[in-house]
Amino acid sequence: MPDQQGKTALVTGANTGIGFEAAKVLAARGATVVLACRDLAKAEAAASQISAAAPRARVETLRLDLASLASVHQAAEQFHANHRCLNLLINNAGVIHPAYARTEDGFELHFGTNHLGHFAFTGLMLDRLLAVPGSRIVTVSSSGHRRGDIHLDDLALQHGYGLNAAYGQSKLANLMFTYELQRQLAAIGARTIAVAAHPGNAYTEVGRHMPGWVRVALSPRLRLLNSWLLQSAQMGALPTLRAAVDPVATGGDYYGPAGPGEFTGHPTRVKSSARSHNADLQRRLWEESERLTGVNYRLAEQTAPHTD
Protein backbone atom coordinates (compact mmCIF):
# COMPACT_ATOMS: atom_id res chain seq x y z
CA MET A 1 0.00 0.00 0.00
CA PRO A 2 1.72 3.22 -1.13
CA ASP A 3 2.14 6.03 1.38
CA GLN A 4 -0.94 8.30 1.37
CA GLN A 5 0.57 11.36 3.12
CA GLY A 6 -0.75 14.61 1.70
CA LYS A 7 -3.82 13.02 0.15
CA THR A 8 -7.43 13.61 1.09
CA ALA A 9 -9.90 10.73 0.84
CA LEU A 10 -13.64 10.80 1.43
CA VAL A 11 -15.42 7.51 2.13
CA THR A 12 -19.21 7.31 2.17
CA GLY A 13 -20.76 4.95 4.74
CA ALA A 14 -17.46 4.82 6.61
CA ASN A 15 -18.84 4.18 10.09
CA THR A 16 -18.95 0.41 9.67
CA GLY A 17 -18.23 -2.55 7.39
CA ILE A 18 -16.17 -2.18 4.22
CA GLY A 19 -16.15 1.62 4.38
CA PHE A 20 -14.80 1.66 7.92
CA GLU A 21 -12.05 -0.84 7.12
CA ALA A 22 -11.02 1.06 3.99
CA ALA A 23 -11.00 4.38 5.85
CA LYS A 24 -8.93 2.88 8.67
CA VAL A 25 -6.23 1.66 6.29
CA LEU A 26 -6.10 4.92 4.33
CA ALA A 27 -5.79 6.93 7.57
CA ALA A 28 -3.09 4.62 8.93
CA ARG A 29 -1.14 5.17 5.68
CA GLY A 30 -1.25 8.94 6.20
CA ALA A 31 -4.26 10.19 4.23
CA THR A 32 -6.62 12.77 5.67
CA VAL A 33 -9.83 10.77 5.69
CA VAL A 34 -13.33 12.24 5.74
CA LEU A 35 -15.93 9.82 7.09
CA ALA A 36 -19.15 10.79 5.28
CA CYS A 37 -22.00 9.16 7.18
CA ARG A 38 -25.69 9.72 7.72
CA ASP A 39 -25.39 9.38 11.51
CA LEU A 40 -22.80 11.78 12.94
CA ALA A 41 -22.66 9.99 16.30
CA LYS A 42 -21.71 6.75 14.52
CA ALA A 43 -19.19 8.67 12.41
CA GLU A 44 -17.57 10.20 15.51
CA ALA A 45 -17.38 6.78 17.17
CA ALA A 46 -15.70 5.36 14.06
CA ALA A 47 -13.29 8.32 13.96
CA SER A 48 -12.34 7.67 17.60
CA GLN A 49 -11.67 4.01 16.84
CA ILE A 50 -9.46 4.89 13.88
CA SER A 51 -7.57 7.51 15.91
CA ALA A 52 -7.08 5.04 18.77
CA ALA A 53 -5.50 2.54 16.36
CA ALA A 54 -3.39 5.18 14.57
CA PRO A 55 -2.93 8.17 16.91
CA ARG A 56 -1.46 10.42 14.19
CA ALA A 57 -4.31 9.71 11.77
CA ARG A 58 -6.16 12.75 10.45
CA VAL A 59 -9.85 11.86 10.49
CA GLU A 60 -12.81 14.17 9.93
CA THR A 61 -16.54 13.54 9.86
CA LEU A 62 -19.18 14.85 7.50
CA ARG A 63 -22.94 14.33 7.65
CA LEU A 64 -24.17 12.78 4.41
CA ASP A 65 -27.49 11.02 3.96
CA LEU A 66 -27.53 9.65 0.43
CA ALA A 67 -31.28 9.09 0.66
CA SER A 68 -31.80 12.86 0.73
CA LEU A 69 -30.73 15.18 -2.10
CA ALA A 70 -30.88 18.10 0.34
CA SER A 71 -28.33 16.33 2.55
CA VAL A 72 -26.17 15.50 -0.48
CA HIS A 73 -26.04 19.20 -1.39
CA GLN A 74 -25.32 20.26 2.21
CA ALA A 75 -22.51 17.71 2.53
CA ALA A 76 -20.91 18.84 -0.74
CA GLU A 77 -21.13 22.49 0.36
CA GLN A 78 -19.55 21.69 3.70
CA PHE A 79 -16.71 19.78 2.06
CA HIS A 80 -16.11 22.69 -0.34
CA ALA A 81 -15.91 25.10 2.58
CA ASN A 82 -13.14 23.08 4.22
CA HIS A 83 -11.18 21.53 1.34
CA ARG A 84 -9.74 22.79 -1.91
CA CYS A 85 -9.15 19.36 -3.42
CA LEU A 86 -10.05 15.71 -3.13
CA ASN A 87 -7.69 12.91 -4.17
CA LEU A 88 -10.01 10.00 -3.60
CA LEU A 89 -13.77 9.66 -3.45
CA ILE A 90 -14.97 6.21 -2.38
CA ASN A 91 -18.67 5.72 -3.08
CA ASN A 92 -19.10 2.84 -0.66
CA ALA A 93 -22.34 3.31 1.29
CA GLY A 94 -25.10 0.91 0.43
CA VAL A 95 -28.35 -0.51 1.62
CA ILE A 96 -30.15 -3.83 1.19
CA HIS A 97 -33.73 -3.65 2.35
CA PRO A 98 -36.22 -6.46 1.71
CA ALA A 99 -39.34 -4.31 2.07
CA TYR A 100 -40.30 -1.69 -0.49
CA ALA A 101 -39.26 1.77 0.68
CA ARG A 102 -38.55 5.18 -0.77
CA THR A 103 -36.02 7.92 -0.16
CA GLU A 104 -36.88 11.40 1.06
CA ASP A 105 -37.20 12.47 -2.60
CA GLY A 106 -39.50 9.57 -3.49
CA PHE A 107 -36.98 7.32 -5.28
CA GLU A 108 -37.01 3.54 -4.69
CA LEU A 109 -34.66 3.11 -1.71
CA HIS A 110 -31.88 1.03 -3.35
CA PHE A 111 -31.74 3.02 -6.56
CA GLY A 112 -32.08 6.32 -4.73
CA THR A 113 -29.44 5.62 -2.09
CA ASN A 114 -26.92 3.35 -3.79
CA HIS A 115 -26.98 5.00 -7.21
CA LEU A 116 -28.71 8.40 -7.36
CA GLY A 117 -27.27 9.66 -4.06
CA HIS A 118 -23.75 8.81 -5.18
CA PHE A 119 -24.40 10.11 -8.71
CA ALA A 120 -25.43 13.49 -7.31
CA PHE A 121 -22.67 13.65 -4.70
CA THR A 122 -19.94 12.76 -7.21
CA GLY A 123 -21.19 15.41 -9.62
CA LEU A 124 -21.08 18.05 -6.89
CA MET A 125 -17.55 17.01 -5.86
CA LEU A 126 -16.15 16.87 -9.38
CA ASP A 127 -14.43 20.27 -9.34
CA ARG A 128 -12.49 19.25 -6.22
CA LEU A 129 -11.49 15.94 -7.86
CA LEU A 130 -10.52 17.49 -11.21
CA ALA A 131 -8.27 19.88 -9.27
CA VAL A 132 -5.93 16.97 -8.45
CA PRO A 133 -3.97 15.10 -11.13
CA GLY A 134 -4.37 11.37 -10.59
CA SER A 135 -7.47 11.63 -8.43
CA ARG A 136 -9.86 8.68 -8.39
CA ILE A 137 -13.53 7.92 -7.97
CA VAL A 138 -14.07 4.39 -6.68
CA THR A 139 -17.62 3.07 -6.65
CA VAL A 140 -18.47 -0.11 -4.76
CA SER A 141 -20.74 -2.49 -6.65
CA SER A 142 -21.61 -6.14 -6.01
CA SER A 143 -21.78 -9.50 -7.77
CA GLY A 144 -25.49 -8.88 -7.32
CA HIS A 145 -25.27 -6.52 -10.31
CA ARG A 146 -25.63 -9.65 -12.44
CA ARG A 147 -29.15 -10.20 -11.11
CA GLY A 148 -30.25 -6.68 -12.01
CA ASP A 149 -31.36 -4.76 -15.07
CA ILE A 150 -31.98 -1.05 -15.59
CA HIS A 151 -35.73 -0.45 -15.89
CA LEU A 152 -35.69 3.04 -17.32
CA ASP A 153 -39.46 3.00 -17.75
CA ASP A 154 -40.01 1.84 -14.15
CA LEU A 155 -36.92 2.66 -12.07
CA ALA A 156 -39.02 2.49 -8.90
CA LEU A 157 -39.94 -1.11 -9.84
CA GLN A 158 -43.61 -0.48 -9.15
CA HIS A 159 -44.49 -3.23 -11.63
CA GLY A 160 -42.32 -6.02 -10.24
CA TYR A 161 -40.54 -5.21 -7.01
CA GLY A 162 -38.19 -7.82 -5.60
CA LEU A 163 -35.08 -7.53 -3.47
CA ASN A 164 -32.77 -8.98 -6.14
CA ALA A 165 -34.27 -6.78 -8.82
CA ALA A 166 -34.00 -3.64 -6.69
CA TYR A 167 -30.55 -4.22 -5.20
CA GLY A 168 -29.30 -5.64 -8.52
CA GLN A 169 -30.55 -2.62 -10.47
CA SER A 170 -28.76 -0.25 -8.08
CA LYS A 171 -25.50 -2.21 -8.19
CA LEU A 172 -25.63 -2.49 -11.99
CA ALA A 173 -26.20 1.26 -12.05
CA ASN A 174 -23.05 1.72 -9.91
CA LEU A 175 -21.01 -0.02 -12.62
CA MET A 176 -22.68 1.66 -15.59
CA PHE A 177 -22.15 5.01 -13.87
CA THR A 178 -18.44 4.21 -13.45
CA TYR A 179 -17.99 3.22 -17.09
CA GLU A 180 -19.87 6.23 -18.47
CA LEU A 181 -18.10 8.60 -16.09
CA GLN A 182 -14.75 7.19 -17.17
CA ARG A 183 -15.69 7.69 -20.83
CA GLN A 184 -16.64 11.31 -20.16
CA LEU A 185 -13.50 12.00 -18.09
CA ALA A 186 -11.32 10.56 -20.84
CA ALA A 187 -13.15 12.68 -23.43
CA ILE A 188 -12.09 15.91 -21.71
CA GLY A 189 -8.55 14.63 -21.18
CA ALA A 190 -8.90 14.54 -17.40
CA ARG A 191 -6.36 12.66 -15.33
CA THR A 192 -9.06 11.77 -12.84
CA ILE A 193 -10.17 8.16 -13.30
CA ALA A 194 -13.33 6.25 -12.36
CA VAL A 195 -12.93 2.66 -11.17
CA ALA A 196 -15.12 0.09 -9.44
CA ALA A 197 -14.81 -2.72 -6.93
CA HIS A 198 -16.84 -5.35 -5.14
CA PRO A 199 -16.01 -7.00 -1.80
CA GLY A 200 -17.20 -10.53 -2.55
CA ASN A 201 -19.11 -11.74 0.50
CA ALA A 202 -17.93 -10.10 3.69
CA TYR A 203 -19.08 -10.13 7.32
CA THR A 204 -20.50 -6.65 7.79
CA GLU A 205 -23.80 -5.14 8.86
CA VAL A 206 -25.10 -5.36 5.29
CA GLY A 207 -27.69 -8.03 6.22
CA ARG A 208 -29.12 -6.03 9.11
CA HIS A 209 -32.56 -5.67 7.47
CA MET A 210 -32.69 -9.30 6.32
CA PRO A 211 -34.77 -12.00 8.04
CA GLY A 212 -33.27 -13.50 11.22
CA TRP A 213 -32.36 -16.85 9.63
CA VAL A 214 -30.31 -15.08 6.94
CA ARG A 215 -28.45 -13.11 9.60
CA VAL A 216 -27.69 -16.32 11.51
CA ALA A 217 -26.49 -18.10 8.34
CA LEU A 218 -24.18 -15.17 7.59
CA SER A 219 -22.97 -14.84 11.16
CA PRO A 220 -19.22 -14.75 11.90
CA ARG A 221 -20.01 -17.38 14.56
CA LEU A 222 -20.37 -19.89 11.69
CA ARG A 223 -17.02 -18.82 10.29
CA LEU A 224 -15.63 -22.37 10.13
CA LEU A 225 -18.57 -23.54 8.02
CA ASN A 226 -18.73 -20.37 5.96
CA SER A 227 -15.09 -19.71 5.19
CA TRP A 228 -15.45 -20.76 1.52
CA LEU A 229 -18.32 -18.27 1.15
CA LEU A 230 -17.57 -15.34 3.41
CA GLN A 231 -14.54 -13.35 4.41
CA SER A 232 -13.75 -10.69 6.98
CA ALA A 233 -14.65 -7.06 6.42
CA GLN A 234 -10.91 -6.31 6.30
CA MET A 235 -10.50 -8.72 3.37
CA GLY A 236 -13.68 -7.38 1.80
CA ALA A 237 -12.19 -3.89 1.83
CA LEU A 238 -9.12 -4.92 -0.19
CA PRO A 239 -10.69 -4.68 -3.68
CA THR A 240 -11.83 -1.14 -2.83
CA LEU A 241 -8.38 -0.25 -1.53
CA ARG A 242 -6.67 -1.73 -4.57
CA ALA A 243 -8.96 0.23 -6.88
CA ALA A 244 -8.14 3.31 -4.80
CA VAL A 245 -4.35 3.11 -4.69
CA ASP A 246 -2.90 0.55 -7.11
CA PRO A 247 -0.55 2.62 -9.28
CA VAL A 248 -1.28 0.49 -12.35
CA ALA A 249 -5.08 0.74 -12.11
CA THR A 250 -6.63 2.37 -15.15
CA GLY A 251 -9.99 4.04 -15.68
CA GLY A 252 -12.87 1.57 -15.95
CA ASP A 253 -11.08 -1.21 -14.02
CA TYR A 254 -13.23 -3.38 -11.76
CA TYR A 255 -11.67 -5.22 -8.81
CA GLY A 256 -13.02 -8.12 -6.76
CA PRO A 257 -11.83 -11.18 -4.84
CA ALA A 258 -9.80 -13.72 -6.83
CA GLY A 259 -11.33 -16.87 -5.26
CA PRO A 260 -13.93 -19.19 -6.85
CA GLY A 261 -17.13 -17.33 -7.65
CA GLU A 262 -15.39 -14.11 -6.54
CA PHE A 263 -16.73 -14.84 -3.04
CA THR A 264 -13.46 -14.52 -1.14
CA GLY A 265 -9.77 -13.95 -1.71
CA HIS A 266 -7.25 -11.28 -2.48
CA PRO A 267 -8.23 -8.58 -4.96
CA THR A 268 -7.73 -8.94 -8.66
CA ARG A 269 -9.16 -7.33 -11.78
CA VAL A 270 -12.53 -8.97 -12.53
CA LYS A 271 -15.12 -8.78 -15.28
CA SER A 272 -18.62 -7.36 -14.94
CA SER A 273 -21.67 -8.59 -16.84
CA ALA A 274 -22.08 -7.99 -20.57
CA ARG A 275 -25.13 -5.84 -19.77
CA SER A 276 -23.02 -3.46 -17.67
CA HIS A 277 -21.01 -2.61 -20.81
CA ASN A 278 -24.04 -1.54 -22.85
CA ALA A 279 -22.87 1.97 -23.76
CA ASP A 280 -26.27 3.10 -25.02
CA LEU A 281 -27.95 2.09 -21.75
CA GLN A 282 -25.14 3.73 -19.76
CA ARG A 283 -25.78 7.00 -21.58
CA ARG A 284 -29.56 6.82 -21.09
CA LEU A 285 -29.13 5.96 -17.40
CA TRP A 286 -26.81 8.95 -17.08
CA GLU A 287 -29.32 11.33 -18.69
CA GLU A 288 -32.12 10.02 -16.48
CA SER A 289 -29.92 10.31 -13.37
CA GLU A 290 -29.17 13.95 -14.23
CA ARG A 291 -32.86 14.62 -14.74
CA LEU A 292 -33.94 12.93 -11.50
CA THR A 293 -31.26 14.49 -9.29
CA GLY A 294 -31.03 17.86 -10.99
CA VAL A 295 -27.23 17.51 -10.88
CA ASN A 296 -25.78 18.13 -14.34
CA TYR A 297 -22.12 17.20 -14.68
CA ARG A 298 -21.45 19.40 -17.74
CA LEU A 299 -18.11 17.65 -18.05
CA ALA A 300 -17.43 19.10 -21.47
CA GLU A 301 -17.57 22.58 -19.88
CA GLN A 302 -15.24 21.70 -17.01
CA THR A 303 -11.75 23.04 -17.35
CA ALA A 304 -9.45 20.07 -17.17
CA PRO A 305 -6.37 21.64 -15.58
CA HIS A 306 -4.47 18.40 -15.66
CA THR A 307 -4.49 17.54 -19.33
CA ASP A 308 -1.02 16.81 -20.68
Positions touching ligand NAP (CB under 6 A) are 12-13, 15-19, 37-39, 42, 64-67, 92-95, 113, 140, 142, 198-199, 201-202, 204-206, 236
Q: Which is nearer to ligand NAP, 93 or 132 (CB)?
A: 93
Q: Which is nearer to ligand NAP, 87 or 142 (CB)?
A: 142
Region of 106 on the Ramachandran plot (φ > 0 left; ψ -120 to 50 alpha; else beta):
left
Distance of closest approach, residue 150 Cβ to ligand NAP, in angstroms: 17
Distance of closest approach, residue 159 Cβ to ligand NAP, in angstroms: 24
Q: Which is nearer to ligand NAP, 92 or 293 (CB)?
A: 92
Contact 252, 176 (CB under 8 A): no
User: 224 — phi, psi (to 5°)?
Assistant: -65, -40
CA angle 119, 211, 266 (to 5 degrees): 55
Contact 246, 88 (CB under 8 A): no
Out of 161, 167, 203, 297, pick the active-site residue: 167
Query: 3-class SS at 34?
Result: strand
Distance of closest approach, residue 147 Cβ to ligand NAP, in angstroms: 12
Distance of closest approach, residue 188 Cβ to ligand NAP, in angstroms: 28
Q: Which is nearer to ligand NAP, 130 or 170 (CB)?
A: 170
Contact 207, 215 (CB under 8 A): yes
Angstrom distance (rounded) from CA 302 to CA 308: 15
Residue 203 annotated to the active site:
no
The residues that are catalytic are 167
